[in-house]
Amino acid sequence: MRLEKAMFLLPGLVIGLSLHEFAHAWSARLLGDNFSRRQGRVSLNPFRHLSILGTLAIFLLPIGWGKPVQVNLYNFRNPKRDYLITSLAGPLANIIVVLCCIGLAQITRNDCRYGAGAQAYLTSAHSMLIAIALINTVLAAINLLPIPPLDGSKIWPCLIPGLKPSFGSKGIMIFIIAIMLLMHNGALDPVLRVAFNSTSYYMPYPDSALCEAYDDLGAKSLDNGDLNQANVLFSAAVDHNPRAHRSLRNRAEVYLIAGRLQLARTDIEAALAFRETPEYRQLQQKIAEAIRLRDASIIRQAASQPASGPAE
Amino acid sequence: MLLSLPFLWAGRLAGMFGSPLCVALLKTAWRISLDGRTGVTALGAIAKYVGPAEAIGCGLAWMEKHPRAELAAYAGIVAAEAGLADIARNMLTASSQFPPDGMGLAETLEFSVAKRFEPLGAAADCARRLESRNDLSPTVSGMIYTELLWDAVLRGRLDEARGRAEHILAIGDAPMANLVLAALSHNAGQSAGHMAKASKLPPAELHYYSFLTASGTGDDERANEHLARLTEFNTGLAEYAAVQVSAAREAE
């Protein structure tokens, strides 16, 4: 895995794993078990929760893990119910992180509404929120699988009558290797795809990304000669990002072809105000020439017509 | 810490395959990390592959330079298992100077000392004292719940015994808790559905616990039967069981 990719995943994993383990420890404490507190796990400090091996794995594999929180079932009043709540708390924390990211993304999605300087920050923040949300989705989904030592293996015995909540540590390594293999050969992809798609469905796109997408589609329509469609798409791009000089330039071209020269001049001037390029200048000259020709034609037309006023 | 990991993993792997090489590797891991847990892993390997005396010696030497609650408690546990009462008690005092260790070893040592070196009944008192705490490790809780279960059975507090057995069974498979419930059901004239699960115990343990349960429920005939069978399997355990029961009766 490339270092940049790992660095991109790192914040999501650190936040996700820390909150996941904190949620287990905190819920256990609320339900009467203070063993996790004694181990220093009722804390939001990531260093209390990240395991060295799990953190190194972030750079080598597509996923990492934290130190599992040990729960003492003897301290629970109702072991089965309380263990269920404690086990669910981890994935639930990840789902809450996803919901928070979706909420914050409603602010960062309007990345083009503010100055150019703020846009860069907002776009980066939005990308980071998307990454954090998707990583936490993966963490929640994987942890719900009924394979030890994942939370799912603790949840299901609490729900199925007759099964005991505790699970021995025998053979845990075999299960861990099995999970790694399942992830590596793509057997878990269908589960992850469902989780990914659910989060992506609610995750808003940033205006800059929508603007780019509309601009690309508009360029295709323009190539196909569909001026109306191109105009609609470039206008949508400009609506999302009023400083999208490329879209303004493209719409100016559409107006030029359509003969709406004043609108074309307005757009190209707006584009030039944001970016001065020889290409834009060339189009501006073309539009100016077209306007000059049109004006000259109008003047000639007017001159060739007989005077309509009363003869002196 | 990071540098110690290859030695720790290699040491654990060597330990899994029963190679004494794990001792050197785990000692190196401890020297690099100076982490209490790694120290405990290393001491465990020394106790297993070299001997308890060497493990206690190492623990004491390491404690002088790098005092750790886990090291003191674990060295004490090794001493207790080796029957070295004074060292175990000293280590218990040493471990109590630190805040509670994250592994729950201090309480394991406290309970071991009470169980092995104090008069009969001290372990139950220690268990009762520890039971009020809710920050114990699952291992310690398991030990004290079992101790309190047998204490309740032997002293004839059958309702408490039933409650404790049911709580233990709500957590996991526990053949001895099934045995107690089977005996209590039998005593109350009900069918003993728990007996099948209880029979998973090895024969000596089955007769030992059956003897305790029968004695506690006042079924002397069955108690004598089980004691006779237990004597066939393990004479020492049979004698200990008889002393346990008579001590409980005297205490009453």
Q: List the domain boundaries for chain A.
A: 3-202, 207-304
Instruction: State yes or no: pLDDT of A3 exceeds 80.
Output: no
Residues B141 and B205 in one domain: yes
**End position of a domain, from candidates B118, B142, B163:** B118
Q: List the single residue in A34, A52, A70 with the smallest CB-CB distance to B2.
A: A52
Residues B111 and B126 in one domain: no
User: Measured between alpha carbons, how far is B20 from A266 in angstroms, rounded to an integer?
Assistant: 84
Q: List the single residue in B5, B102, B138 with the smallest CB-CB distance to A74.
A: B138
Q: Which of A35, A170, A176 to mutate to test the interface with B (most CBs of B within 10 A)?
A: A35
How high is the pLDDT of residue B43?
Answer: 96
A80 CB neighbours in chain B (<8 A) are 170
CB contact under 8 A, A75 and B171: no
Judge: domain A207-304, CATH 1.20.1740.10.
no
**End position of a domain, from candidates B100, B118, B136:** B118
Question: Which residues 184-243 of B have a C-beta within 8 angstroms of A?
Answer: none
Chain centroid, CA A21 distance in Å: 24
Residues B245 and B125 in one domain: yes
**End position of a domain, from candidates B99, B118, B137:** B118
CB contact under 8 A, B136 and A32: no
How high is the pLDDT of residue A168?
Answer: 60
How high is the pLDDT of residue A167?
Answer: 59
CB contact under 8 A, B134 and A73: no
How high is the pLDDT of residue A311?
Answer: 44
How high is the pLDDT of residue B149?
Answer: 93
How high is the pLDDT of residue B180?
Answer: 87
Residues B80 and B159 in one domain: no
Residues B128 and B212 in one domain: yes
Looking at the structure of chain B, the number of domains it has is 2
Residues B103 and B152 in one domain: no
Cα-Cα-Cα-Cα dihedral sign, residues B130, B134, B139, B143: positive
Cα distance from N-terminal residue to C-terminal residue, chain A: 90
The stretch A64-70 carries a mean pLDDT of 86
Q: List the single residue in A34, A38, A164 with the smallest CB-CB distance to B171.
A: A164
B145 CB neighbours in chain A (<8 A) are 74
pLDDT band at B176 (very low <50, low <70, confident <90, very high): confident
pLDDT band at B245 (very low <50, low <70, confident <90, very high): confident
The stretch A4-11 carries a mean pLDDT of 79
A53 CB neighbours in chain B (<8 A) are 5
B104 CB neighbours in chain A (<8 A) are 35, 38
Q: Which of B4, B132, B134 to mutate to test the interface with A (most CBs of A within 10 A)?
A: B134
Residues B45 and B161 in one domain: no
Tally of CA atoms within 13 A in the half-sphere of A237 that contains its CB: 26
CB contact under 8 A, B135 and A37: yes
Evaluate whether A23 touches A41 at the Cβ level (below 8 Å).
no
How high is the pLDDT of residue A103?
Answer: 95
How high is the pLDDT of residue B116?
Answer: 92
Long-range contacts of A174-179 (CB under 8 A, 24+ apart): A175/A147, A175/A148, A175/A149, A176/A149, A178/A147, A179/A142, A179/A145, A179/A147, A179/A150
How high is the pLDDT of residue A297?
Answer: 87
Backbone angles phi, psi at A66, to 5 degrees: -110, 180
Q: List the single residue in A52, A71, A78 with the smallest CB-CB distance to B1.
A: A52
CB contact under 8 A, A75 and B104: no
Residues B7 and B112 in one domain: yes
Question: Residues of chain A whose C-beta is under 8 A from some C-beta in B?
Answer: 32-35, 37-40, 52-53, 70-75, 78-80, 164-166
Tokens 């992506």 — which residue? Answer: A200
Instruction: State yes or no: pLDDT of A22 exceeds 60.
Output: yes
The stretch A216-230 carries a mean pLDDT of 94
> pLDDT digits over A176-199, tens only?
778 878 877 888 888 888 888 999
Q: Shortest Cα distance from A94 to chain B (angstroms)?
A: 26
A29 CB neighbours in chain B (<8 A) are none
Residues B8 and B35 in one domain: yes
Cβ-based contacts under 8 A for chains A and B? 56
User: Measured between alpha carbons, how far is B72 from A138 in angstroms, rounded to an integer?
Assistant: 42
Closest CA to A142 of A64, A226, A37: A64
Token pair for residue A244?
């999208």
User: Measured between alpha carbons, how far is A1 from A5 in angstroms, rounded to an integer?
Assistant: 7
B4 CB neighbours in chain A (<8 A) are none
Instruction: State yes or no: pLDDT of B36 exceeds 80.
Output: yes
B172 touches chain A (CB under 8 A): yes
- The DSSP string of chain A is --HHHHHHHHHHHHHHHHHHHHHHHHHHHHTT--HHHHTT-SS--HHHHB-HHHHHHHHHSS---BPPPP--GGG-SSHHHHHHHHHHHHHHHHHHHHHHHHHHHHHHT-TTSS-HHHHHHHHHHHHHHHHHHHHHHHHHHHHTSSSTTSHHHHHHHHHSTT--S---STTHHHHHHHHHHHHHTTTTHHHHHHHHHHHHHHSPPPHHHHHHHHHHHHHHHHHTT-HHHHHHHHHHHHHH-TT-HHHHHHHHHHHHHHT-HHHHHHHHHHHHHH---HHHHHHHHHHHHHHHHHHHHHHHHHHHSPP-SPP-
How high is the pLDDT of residue A237?
Answer: 95
User: Measured between alpha carbons, how far is B18 from B49 in angstroms, rounded to an integer?
Assistant: 9
Q: List the single residue in A53, A74, A78 with the smallest CB-CB distance to B142.
A: A74
- The DSSP string of chain B is -TTHHHHHHHHHHHHHTT-THHHHHHHHHHHHH--HHHHHHHHHHHHHHT-HHHHHHHHHHHHHHS--HHHHHHHHHHHHHTT-HHHHHHHHHHHTTSPPPTT-HHHHHHHHHHHHHSPTTHHHHHHHHHHT-S---HHHHHHHHHHHHHHHHHTT-HHHHHHHHHHHHHHS--HHHHHHHHHHHHHTT---TTHHHHTTS-HHHHHHHHHHHHHHTT-HHHHHHHHHHHHHH-HHHHHHHHHHHHHHHHH-
Instruction: State yes or no: pLDDT of B192 exceeds 80.
Output: no
The stretch B73-82 carries a mean pLDDT of 95
CB contact under 8 A, B171 and A166: yes
How high is the pLDDT of residue B152?
Answer: 92
Q: Shortest Cα distance from A45 to chain B (angstroms)?
A: 17
Question: What's the pTM?
Answer: 0.81
B2 touches chain A (CB under 8 A): yes
How high is the pLDDT of residue A312?
Answer: 42
Evaluate whether A158 touches A165 at the Cβ level (below 8 Å).
yes
Tokens 């792997």 — which residue? Answer: B13
Q: Which of B4, B9, B136 to mutate to test the interface with A (most CBs of A within 10 A)?
A: B136
**Neighbouring-strand partners of residue A66:** A50
pLDDT band at B121 (very low <50, low <70, confident <90, very high): confident
Token pair for residue A267?
């757009």
The mean of the pLDDT values for chain A is: 88
B5 CB neighbours in chain A (<8 A) are 52-53
- The range of the structural domain enclosing residue B43 comes to 1-118
The total number of residues shown for chain A amounts to 312
pLDDT band at B84 (very low <50, low <70, confident <90, very high): very high
pLDDT band at A114 (very low <50, low <70, confident <90, very high): confident
The stretch B223-252 carries a mean pLDDT of 86
User: Measured between alpha carbons, how far is B81 from B75 in angstroms, rounded to an integer?
Assistant: 10
Out of A25-34, A171-180, B31-40, least confident range: A171-180
How high is the pLDDT of residue B185?
Answer: 81
Residues B114 and B169 in one domain: no
Instruction: State yes or no: pLDDT of A260 exceeds 50.
Output: yes
A40 CB neighbours in chain B (<8 A) are 102
B3 touches chain A (CB under 8 A): no
How high is the pLDDT of residue B191?
Answer: 61
How high is the pLDDT of residue B194?
Answer: 61
Residues B114 and B127 in one domain: no
Evaluate whether B76 touches B92 at the Cβ level (below 8 Å).
yes
CB contact under 8 A, B172 and A166: yes
Which range among A48-62, A151-165, B93-107 has the greatest average pLDDT?
A: B93-107
How high is the pLDDT of residue B25?
Answer: 95
pLDDT band at B125 (very low <50, low <70, confident <90, very high): very high
Q: List the single residue in A34, A70, A79 with the smallest CB-CB distance to B171.
A: A79
> pLDDT digits over A280-305, tens only?
999 999 999 999 999 888 888 888 87
Residues B182 and B57 in one domain: no
